[in-house]
Amino acid sequence: MNNVKNSLYQDRIVLITGTTKGIGLYLTKSFLDKQAIVCGFARSESSLRHERYYHYQGDVTNIEDVTPVLQEIRKKFRRLDILINNAGIASMNPSILMPESIAKKIFDINMLGVFNMSRESAKLMMKEKYGRIINFSSVAVPMHIEGEAIYASSKAAIEEFSKIFAREVARYGITVNVIGPSPIMTDLIAKVPEDKIQNLVNKMPLSRLGEFRDVENVVDFFASEASDYITGQVIYLGGVS
């Protein structure tokens, strides 16, 4: 791999899910700025136009959508270096009021989506004996926030999956790590009342809302070539543990 000075991701092939808005869009632009080739995968179309950005439309929960994207990447680039499983949904409801259909949808997108993407991507990474898989959890897991039982459970499942998958693919030079962001002003929490968000922030050691750059910082750490001895780890933002 030809890493160029000041261009950490020169020629790296990065696949990011949920690239049309929020953190996914921010990370996409960040990787493009750092000379990576970015493949975006999302349910909707992307307005992003860039010579090194390739957009694929589909559903991470549907393997019939996922497999062709990885096959396309294999044919086009012959490899995949970094997968960022950013796509996810949230719904804040007391468990007793949580409709089954929404609970199922949360698990499907958050957990099954990560599983589908990780499995198919790892197949491509195995041959090159190199890969970085970065999954998204949430501080909702260690903070045990009321009203987030299903969301936090789906994220806890991602953490456990990541730890085991990390062991399974370690021999192929693939690392699997997890970032657990604190609340960040995105669509994900747009419908949550402000006072609830503030209460949550007040319980964190570093009492402020997270920012996209905070996520980018941890993603850079996990995605770095130098992080080949870091796998199966979870890093929460905001000092939460």
Partner 1 sequence: MSNLNRTKIIEIIETTFKEVAGESDIPFPENICEETRILVGNSPFDSMHVVNMIVLVEEGVSDTFNVDITLANEHTMSQSKSPFKSIGTLADYIVGVLT
Q: Which residues are catalytic?
A: 151
Nearer residue to partner 1 within complex by CB, 38 or 133:
133
Q: Which residues pair with 39 in a beta bridge?
A: 15, 54
Residue 167 CB, shortest distance to partner 1, in Å, is 10
Q: Who's near 46: CB < 8 A, 6+ residues apart?
A: 19, 20, 40, 53, 55
Residue 232 CB, shortest distance to partner 1, in Å, is 16
Distance of CA 60 to the CA centre of its chain: 12
- Pick from 87, 96, 227, 102: nearest CA to 166: 227
Stretch in the footprint of partner 1 (CB under 8 A) among 50-58, 122-130, 144-152, 199-207:
122-130
Residue 170 CB, shortest distance to partner 1, in Å, is 9
Contact (CB, 8 A) for 50 and 16? no
123 binds partner 1 (CB under 8 A): yes
**Dist. CA 206–CA 216, nearest whole Å:** 17
Instruction: List Cα–Cα distances, 93 to 102, 131, 181, 192, 203, in angstroms.
Output: 10, 37, 20, 10, 20
3 binds partner 1 (CB under 8 A): no
Sole binder of partner 1 in the list 67, 186, 224, 227 (CB under 8 A): 67
Both structure tokens of 104: 């199922």
Residue 118 CB, shortest distance to partner 1, in Å, is 13
127 binds partner 1 (CB under 8 A): yes
74 binds partner 1 (CB under 8 A): yes
62 binds partner 1 (CB under 8 A): no
**Which residues ranging from 164 to 183 are in contact with partner 1 (CB under 8 A)?**
168, 171-172
Q: Which residues bind partner 1 (CB under 8 A)?
A: 67-68, 71, 74, 123, 126-127, 168, 171-172
